[in-house]
Amino acid sequence: MSHQIWMNGDLVNHEDAKVSVLTHALHYGTSVFEGVRAYETPDGGSAVFRHADHIDRLYRSAALYHMEIPFTKDEIRQATFDTITASGLKSCYIRPLVFRGAGPMGLYPLDCPVEVIIAVWAWGAYLGDEGKVNGVRAKVSSWRRISSDALIPTAKAGGQYLNSILAKIEADKAGYEEAILLDSNGYVNEGTGENLFLVKDGVVHTPGFANDILEGINRAAAIEILRDQGYEVVERNIARGELYRADEIFMTGTAAELTPIREVDDLPVGDGTRGPITTEIQAIFEDALHGRSERYAHWLDKVPAAVS
């Protein structure tokens, strides 16, 4: 992780990208962020997947926490390109982070400066390449997903992730690769960093916004691909018990990409292998990510070639 970091307008060496220990976000979680990916394309270049959607969500998350980002969306887009180019990486994970810096302590944050960094690094599939083929084992968490009567589930805010972190630690200690959180009403919600889809009798079901999900960008992509392939996709309340009688379950997220779930709570999903609809959609999704799809080429934002 020694690549240069874009920090408040400049590219700086990793070791020079420093903040005060009195940074407000360190104490109270007052940050918003994105997880974005760029992939090498068949022409040898690189492209950012659904870049504008990620930037829009970053600004929405910031606005929900009353943070004014001191750069335009175009500047953030260009800064992302500059950071990728400086890294020399063709495929990378991209982390824009907007946070409240050092200023007056206490819970009133609006007098603390809003700072922005963008970091990139090489990062394989979050739940493993093997998991993308064979599926991962998941456990329904004892932790419920944050609800909109206490926080803002549609915002991607730092402090909110303590919820995902508790669920992730619990799942890991119990020997599972991922947790599935229920919402505050007991309906299926999502993974710690992924949205969830369930296939039953050829129809695809996924929790909707009333379930307090994060509005996943890969979720939207998967829904579009599924519908383009002729599948019915229903957004609705899903009972925990439906996880145990599903034919297929898969998750989507920038970090995990599209990963099948092969077991929930020690029970096999379907026959315990990646199912046919998951396999079909995953292949199209992978082609879209990697610039091999004409149909979804508009989802890619090409990194301009470096001028030498």
Distances (CA, A) of 228 to 38, 141, 223: 24, 33, 8
Min separation Cβ 253 and ligand PMP, Å: 4
Query: Whose CA is closest to 33, among 88, 115, 125, 144?
Result: 115
Residue 35 contacts ligand PMP per CB under 6 A: yes
Determine which residue in the list 80, 141, 252, 282 makes contact with ligand PMP, applying CB under 6 A.
Answer: 252
User: Closest CB to ligand PMP among 91 and 273?
Assistant: 91
What b/e sequence results for 185-217 when a residue is b if at least 16 CB atoms lie within 10 Å of its CB, and e otherwise? eebbbbbbbbbbbbbbeeebbbbeeebbbbebb
- The nearer residue to ligand PMP, 217 or 288, going by C-beta atoms, is 217
For the record, the structure tokens of 78 come out as 């260009």
Q: State how far the Cα of 91 lies from the Cα of 23, in Å rounded to an integer.
A: 31
- In angstroms, the CA 220 to CA 208 distance is 11
Tokens of 5: 């970091």
Beta-strand runs (E) in 145-256: 178-182, 188-190, 195-200, 203-206, 233-235, 248-253
Single out the residue of 218, 259, 278, 282 in contact with ligand PMP (rule: CB under 6 A). 218
Which of 156, 168, 200, 302 is an active site residue?
A: 156
Q: At what angle do helices 217-228 and 51-64 cross, to 10 degrees?
A: 140
**Shortest distance (Å) from residue 10 CB to ligand PMP:** 27
Closer to ligand PMP at the Cβ: 194 or 301? 194
Q: Does 164 bind ligand PMP (CB under 6 A)?
A: yes
- The residues pairing with 102 across neighbouring beta strands, listed in sequence order, are 23
Contact flags string 46-85 toward ligand PMP, x per CB under 6 A: ----------------------------------------
Residue 139 interacts with ligand PMP (CB under 6 A): yes or no: no
Interacting stretch for ligand PMP, rule CB under 6 A, among 131-139, 239-247, 249-257, 293-301? Answer: 249-257
Query: Which of 4, 85, 195, 211 is the binder for ligand PMP (CB under 6 A)?
Result: 195
Distances (CA, A) of 27 to 6, 22, 233: 23, 8, 41
Binding segment (CB under 6 A) for ligand PMP, from list 204-212, 229-237, 250-258, 263-271 = 250-258
- Minimum gap (Å) between residue 239 Cβ and ligand PMP: 20
Q: Which residue in the set 96, 207, 253, 275 belongs to the binding site for ligand PMP (CB under 6 A)?
A: 253
Q: Which residues inside 165-184 make contact with ligand PMP, applying CB under 6 A?
A: none
Q: Which one among 3, 137, 168, 219 touches ligand PMP, defined by CB under 6 A? A: 219
Give the separation between CA 220 and CA 249, rounded to whole angstroms. Answer: 16
Confirm whether 90 is a catalytic residue: no
Distance between CA atoms of residues 73 and 56, nearest Å: 8
Vertex 40: Cα angle to 291 and 124 (nearest 5): 110
Q: Does 259 bind ligand PMP (CB under 6 A)?
A: no
Which residues are catalytic, by number? 156
- Residues in contact with ligand PMP by CB under 6 A are 35, 156, 164, 190, 193-195, 214, 216-219, 252-254
